[in-house]
Amino acid sequence: MKIAVDAMGGDHAPGEIVKGALKAAKILPDIQIILVGQKDKIDLHIPEDLKSTIEIYECSEVIEMDEHPAAAIKKKKDASIVVATRLVKEGYANALVSAGSTGAQMASALLGLGRIKGINRPAICTVLPTLQGGKLLLDVGANPDAKPENLLQYAMMGSIYAEKILGLKSPKVALLNIGSEEGKGNELVQAAYDLLKQSSLNFAGNIEGRDIPYGTADVIVCDAFVGNIVLKTIEGMSSSLFQLIMQKITASTIRKIGAILVKPGLKEIAHMLDYSEYGGAPLLGVDGTSIICHGSSKENAIFNAVRVAKECIEGQIIEKIVDGLEKSTQK
């Protein structure tokens, strides 16, 4: 199986991206990596003894984070994200991974891979660390002005992903809302509630923001505006609270001694909350596997994103979504 990795995308590209890709090539069975980008820059980060084993697919351009996505991918036909996406489209690679501009990756996917027939809007699906393990939140960034039928499709795609990738049997799907009772919320979620209730999904109704970290639902559905803000609020809460804890538990000599003793416990929590462990977020609904990574991704995050790409292909996520759509339209 071949995974194209956009070696030029991300805050720590190409160094950390290459490291993560090499780790995946070494550890994961049946994985061949194609590093897409500027050969001279990538080469610096590949140890001599591996140079003959890793394929580099040369391309000349890079899309920067501040460029307008749609304009950039049209102008820079030889940008690493555009080329990586094309390799998937042409069947040369089975999936692609990038930590570059999310907008450019989405635009490349929409233009290069196209949508799965029947899916109106793709969604970025992320794994959230919770007290009950990893749970799904989608959409966290693709479509900030969603319609009720989009949310239904997110729920269907998320449910398939949770079953195949997280290994959850009949995943509990919930709608993110401002109250638990039916009839709560804005016009969008009220209409989406009705659609979800009528679907064949295991729909558990509404959940509120405070339920998210407790992991009470397996798949949480919302529009990208809400999802992105929630995801980043959770990230901000984790990091700010840890900063505060480290400051407060080392504020005196006695506390510092205590801090040394409890440190292994805090490390376990930091590990649980570490997004890099969960790999990238797939863009569900496009006709090809495109894994979106956090811009700040380092070696471990890229490694796990390649792992997720592999699991998506092995789990036949796209085929299952096509099947799911066919079944739901036959209903």
Chain residues in the site for a copy of itself (CB under 8 A):
66, 130-131, 141, 144-145, 176-178, 181, 185-187, 189, 208-214, 222-226, 228-241, 243-245, 248-251, 254-255, 257-266, 268-269, 272
Cβ–Cβ under 8 Å, residues 325 and 118: yes
Cβ–Cβ under 8 Å, residues 114 and 287: yes
Nearer to a copy of itself by Cβ, of 41 and 278: the residue is 278
Give me the least distance between CB of 116 and a copy of itself, in Å please.
24
Give me the least distance between CB of 155 and a copy of itself, in Å please.
17
Nearer to a copy of itself by Cβ, of 84 and 128: the residue is 128
Nearer to a copy of itself by Cβ, of 268 and 323: the residue is 268
Nearer to a copy of itself by Cβ, of 177 and 289: the residue is 177
Give me the least distance between CB of 125 and a copy of itself, in Å please.
16
Cβ–Cβ under 8 Å, residues 115 and 122: yes
Give me the least distance between CB of 178 and a copy of itself, in Å please.
4
Give me the least distance between CB of 65 and a copy of itself, in Å please.
10
Report the C-alpha dihedral over residues 231, 299, 268, 257, rounded to 10 degrees.
Answer: -110
The pair phi, psi for residue 249, each rounded to 5°, is -90, 5
| Pairing label, strands 219-221, 133-138 | parallel
Output the CA–CA distances (angstroms, integers) from residue 266 to 194, 234, 258, in the order listed.
Answer: 42, 17, 12
Cβ–Cβ under 8 Å, residues 155 and 163: no
Angle between helices 187-198 and 148-164 (to 10 degrees): 50
Give me the least distance between CB of 124 and a copy of itself, in Å please.
11
Give me the least distance between CB of 157 and a copy of itself, in Å please.
20
Nearer to a copy of itself by Cβ, of 29 and 265: the residue is 265
Question: Residue 126 carries which DSSP code?
Answer: E
Cα distance between residue 161 and residue 150, in whole Å: 16
Residues 6+ apart with CB under 8 A from 156: 199, 201, 321, 324, 325, 328
Residues 6+ apart with CB under 8 A from 203: 155, 173, 174, 175, 196, 197
Give me the least distance between CB of 227 and a copy of itself, in Å please.
9
Nearer to a copy of itself by Cβ, of 45 and 225: the residue is 225
Nearer to a copy of itself by Cβ, of 38 and 276: the residue is 276
Among the listed residues 228, 237, 211, 212, the one whose alpha carbon sits nearest the alpha carbon of residue 294: 228
Nearer to a copy of itself by Cβ, of 191 and 322: the residue is 191
